[in-house]
Amino acid sequence: MSTYGYLFQGCNIGPDGVLNDGLNVPEILSAIQKKYLGIANIGIDTGPDDVIYSGNIEYSTPNAFPYIHQTKIFSQIVPVPNPSKPGNLEEVKGWSNYNYFAFNTTMSNDSQSSKYILPDYPYIAYYDRLLLTCIGYDENTGLYSSLDTTYTHPLLQGLILDTYDITYSYRLYGINKIDNERDYLLDKKNGFWILDNDAGVLTFYDRIDPATTVKQVSRSNAPRISFYRYEGLYGEANILSGQDL
């Protein structure tokens, strides 16, 4: 935390320790304040004025403002409900999860991630098991300095949330807490995580099952995510449609 602190100060650590306190009120309010200021929630124990770990424009980190600006407004239809059905997605041949970069961090390359598109809406993509990468902040001296809590990928920006429509729900995969197998589907209580599709940041507030002490995610075992993403035009691209000038 910087010298000036942040507005909603309070104990971020619950009675059972940092890994087992869930998502508590000070953490929620801190995340909301950062969102209001357009700052990505990277360092979860740092304030929004800590530009090094909470988002820094000098490092070309994307802002966390909602999609309300001209450069972020979808100008093509995102149909409701989601028209895609199993088997009718078209795979994008030749796409690979290589050479992506975000938050001053090179994304992990992998050959298991796949990209598909909706046949009737080619500007809506579906990414299957996209590998995320931990955002490094090794110099952080805060209470979460030894934890790998925040993950990113630039393709998370523009992700269509299930709050838009439940038929666009996304799936997050971690490590099975029972037998350590991968591709274990995580729900919101498996880590108390928050996904910010504006900044492209996924933040975990718990990572370890207290009963088994198995890490659900870590820097070396980053989560994977399957989701729909808008990749169409932005802004007033259709401003002349239907108008007589």
* Interval 77-105: pLDDT, tens: 999 999 998 788 999 999 999 999 988 78
Q: Which of 68, 34, 62, 61 is nearest to 48 (CA)?
A: 34
39 falls within a domain: no
202 falls within a domain: yes
What value does the CA radius of gyration of the chain take, rounded to a whole number of Å?
19
127 falls within a domain: yes
pLDDT at 3 over 50: no
Can you tell me the distance from the alpha carbon of 155 to that of 100, in angstroms, rounded to the nearest whole number? 9
Can you tell me the distance from the alpha carbon of 211 to that of 200, in angstroms, rounded to the nearest whole number? 31
152 falls within a domain: yes
- The model's confidence at residue 73, banded by pLDDT at 50, 70 and 90, is confident
47 falls within a domain: no
205: left (phi over 0), alpha (psi -120 to 50) or beta: alpha
10 falls within a domain: no
At 166-176, the pLDDT tens digits run 999 999 998 76
Six token digits for residue 20: 């087992």
Can you tell me the distance from the alpha carbon of 218 to that of 132, in angstroms, rounded to the nearest whole number? 11
* Secondary structure of residue 111 in the 3-state scheme: coil
Which pLDDT score is estimated for 209?
59
User: How wide is the angle at C-alpha 39 spanned by C-alphas 38 and 44, nearest 5°?
Assistant: 140
Q: Identify whether the C-beta of residue 51 lies closer than 8 Å to the C-beta of residue 221.
A: no
84 falls within a domain: yes
Can you tell me the distance from the alpha carbon of 39 to that of 53, in angstroms, rounded to the nearest whole number? 10
* Domain that residue 223 falls in: 67-230
What pTM was computed for the model?
Answer: 0.73
At 178-226, the pLDDT tens digits run 665 567 888 877 778 889 998 899 988 876 655 566 667 888 889 999 9
At 106-158, the pLDDT tens digits run 899 998 999 999 999 999 999 999 999 988 655 544 555 566 788 999 999 99
Average pLDDT, the chain: 76
The residue with tokens 């801190």 is 30
7 falls within a domain: no
* Number of domain units in the chain: 1
